[in-house]
Amino acid sequence: MSSYKLNTKRTILVGFAFFLISAFWQAYDAIVPLMLTNHFGLPQTASGAVMSLDNVLAVFMLPLFGSLSDKVNTKFGKRTPFIFIGTIAAILSFIGLTFIDNYQLVKLSNQGIPALSEILTDEEILERTLDITLANPWPLIGFIATLLVVLIAMATFRSPAVALMPDVTIKPLRSKGNAVINLMGTAGGIIVLALGMVFSTSKNLYMKYTGYVLAVCSVMALGLIIFMFTVKEKKWVAEMEQDTLDLGLEEQVISKDEPVRKLSKAELTSLLLILASVALWYVGYNSITSKYSVYATNVLGFDYNMTLIIAQAAAVVAYIPVGIIASKIGRRKTILAGIIILASAFFAGNFITPSTPELIMYPIFILAGIGWATINVNSFPMVVELARGGEVGKYTGYYYTASMAAQIVAPILSGALYDLFGMRIMFFAFGTAFVVFSFVTMFFVKHGDAKDLGGKTAKDLIEDNFAGDD
């Protein structure tokens, strides 16, 4: 019989799928906007529209492929084929994207653009670059078409990759498991940030990114190789299902061909409230993180890099502890506490002015990082807790639909209010309001915590059932 403790080694190995996903997005977010702006001359509005394609595709594709992976049954499992094929397709198309970009750079070089950038203003250079692009738009068309292939490839396996953790982890331990998965994702992002420093991606406006992307794709490929050779999906899923039955967490494990019990009205209401909460706090959080560099630079006159690094570091430190806390007091209560922390941090930000010492912003962002980690670690497990039988992939898609839709809405809605009332007044106020709204919806959630164990904690139940086992 298995131990009640989270199998950390197994969770880390499963987490290599999320590791390679995070590595990709760190590189994508870093260089694709630079390509679009500096190499093709696109204005910020057009560049922003292209950069939003991933979120738009995700709203439709993540639930689709999450649901599809629920129905697949191969000798490698349900999720592994999507992860393998999707990663290979993403790597190849991402590398191909740089070749098209290189062709555009040759065009710019032939027109003397790199040399002219030393004597012309940024606006004049971008105008000339855009003129060159519009004179022969086929490289841009090919770039965007290839970019769509990259984004579709990534969308095919994100939900299956994230769904694999709850597939192999019994319900009471999924908050802890999700903490480990988040740490693996952070590790992938940090490695790619280091590669960006090695390749100096921010220092050369007209650099060819092929070498950098090859390095990033090598990291992704290494993560995939480790995953493929160590993760035994079918075996681990079967063990989790047996533990689930032994613990009485479900009366039976639904097979592929059996009808899945529908959610009760109360469970469905809770699911909708959880998804509404996810959307609301993502609107609030994303409105801050996506525009903080602009707010800090243009309004406060602060250096934004250190505050964002501090927030990320605080979140990393908090991941494991908040997973443990949730296993003791419940996910809902832990999330509500996280919302209070995050809202308090954003509310305090309203009182920071250009005359405030920059150091005062650091504890505010430490609180924000802790609050976000507390919410993020526990919200996904609450959604998949309500999944029945083999529907974890579908519910993973629901979670990402809510979060991705929010990230589409956040910059548009917040930007409109900034233009109307001013960024100084609305920046932290907007974020605070939406995080507070999420407290209201989460407060009324009644389902999604680990199974009601009649007063016993999840740990107590597992210890009772495994008492005497080696």
Dig out the tokens for 453 from the structure. Answer: 């164990």
More confident residue, 251 or 122: 122
* 188 vs 183: CA distance, rounded Å: 9
Please write the tens of the pLDDT for every residue from 383-402.
988 887 678 888 988 998 89
pLDDT score of 261 more than 70: no
The residue type of 324 is: I
Q: How confident is the model at residue 3 (pLDDT cuts 50, 70, 90)?
A: very low
Domain boundary among 215, 236, 253: 253
> What does the pLDDT read at residue 151?
95
| Cα–Cα distance list, 275 to 166, 171, 414 (Å) | 18, 19, 20
Same domain, 275 and 235: no
Q: For the domain that residue 371 is a member of, what is the CATH number?
A: 1.20.1250.20
Please write the tens of the pLDDT for every residue from 344-369.
999 999 998 888 888 888 999 999 99
Residue 295 DSSP code? I
DSSP symbols for 406-436: HHHHHHHHHHHHHHHH-HHHHHHHHHHHHHH
| Cα–Cα distance list, 124 to 56, 116, 120, 128, 172 (Å) | 32, 10, 6, 6, 59
Same domain, 278 and 197: no
Same domain, 314 and 417: yes
Same domain, 288 and 224: no
| Cα–Cα distance list, 33 to 38, 197, 288, 338, 417 (Å) | 8, 17, 19, 32, 24
Same domain, 159 and 295: no
Residue matched to tokens 């009182």: 351
Q: How large is the average pLDDT for residues 190-203? A: 82
pLDDT score of 468 more than 60: no
Same domain, 265 and 248: no
Same domain, 280 and 393: yes
Q: How large is the average pLDDT for residues 164-186? A: 88
Domain boundary among 198, 226, 253: 253
Same domain, 229 and 286: no
Domain boundary among 210, 230, 253: 253
Same domain, 124 and 210: yes
pLDDT score of 253 more than 70: no
Q: How confident is the model at residue 304 (pLDDT cuts 50, 70, 90)?
A: low
Residue matched to tokens 């996904």: 380
The count of structural domains within the chain is 2
> If we measure between CA atoms, which residue out of 313, 315, 310, 323 comes closest to residue 365?
310
Domain of 100, in residue numbers: 1-253
Q: Look at residue 74 and give its three-state secondary structure.
A: strand
pLDDT score of 312 more than 50: yes
> What does the pLDDT read at residue 1?
36
pTM (global) more than 0.75: yes
Element (H, E) at 66: helix 53-71
Same domain, 221 and 334: no
Domain assignment present for 375: yes
Same domain, 306 and 284: yes
> What does the pLDDT read at residue 119?
81
Domain assignment present for 130: yes
The residue type of 119 is: I
* 416 vs 422: CA distance, rounded Å: 10
Domain assignment present for 470: no
Domain assignment present for 269: yes
Residue matched to tokens 């800090």: 296
Residue matched to tokens 């396996």: 157
Domain assignment present for 469: no
Same domain, 243 and 310: no
Please write the tens of the pLDDT for every residue from 125-161.
888 889 999 999 999 999 999 999 999 999 999 999 9
